[in-house]
Structure 1
Amino acid sequence: MSLVQRISAFLRSPRGQQLVDRGRRQLAKPENQRKLRQLAARLSSRRR
């Protein structure tokens, strides 16, 4: 079983679904969205 297949199987499992749901709830928070935008800006400026 390849790594991608194992990850896909995990994400379909109940525990994987719990983690996905928790991640979605965290991403819905404005402070986490702000942190991600700041990180993306830092990473994109580093490439130039």
Structure 2
Amino acid sequence: MASITQRIQAFLHSPRGRQLAEQGRRQLAKPENQQRIKGLLARLQGRGHRR
């Protein structure tokens, strides 16, 4: 049985995996999504310091 990392690698090299990776790259290039990610990271980092 293949390990999870081997299965992920195989998926990313499949046509569907390449298509989803490219779609993700296009979404990450959008400024509004970059702002959402920055806000999420700021919230998560802020919560970690309060404890």
Pairwise TM-score range, normalised by the shorter structure:
over 0.9
Gaps of 5+ in 2: none
Q: In angstroms, what is the RMSD of aligned CA positions?
A: 0.3
Secondary structure at the aligned position of 2:16 is classed as: helix
Distance 2:35 2:48 in 1: 20
TM-score by length of 2: 0.92
- Percent identity of paired positions between Structure 1 and Structure 2: 60
Residue 19 of structure 1 pairs with residue 20 of structure 2? yes
4+ residue stretches of structure 1 with deviation over 6 A? none
Residue 11 of structure 1: how far off its partner (Å):
0.3
Q: Tell me the residue number matched to 1:31.
A: 32
Q: Tell me the residue number matched to 2:42.
A: 41
TM-score by length of 1: 0.98
Distance 1:46 1:8 in 2: 33
Gaps of 5+ in 1: none
Q: How many residues are paired up?
A: 48
The residue identity in structure 2 corresponding to 1:27 is: L
**Higher Cα radius of gyration:** 2
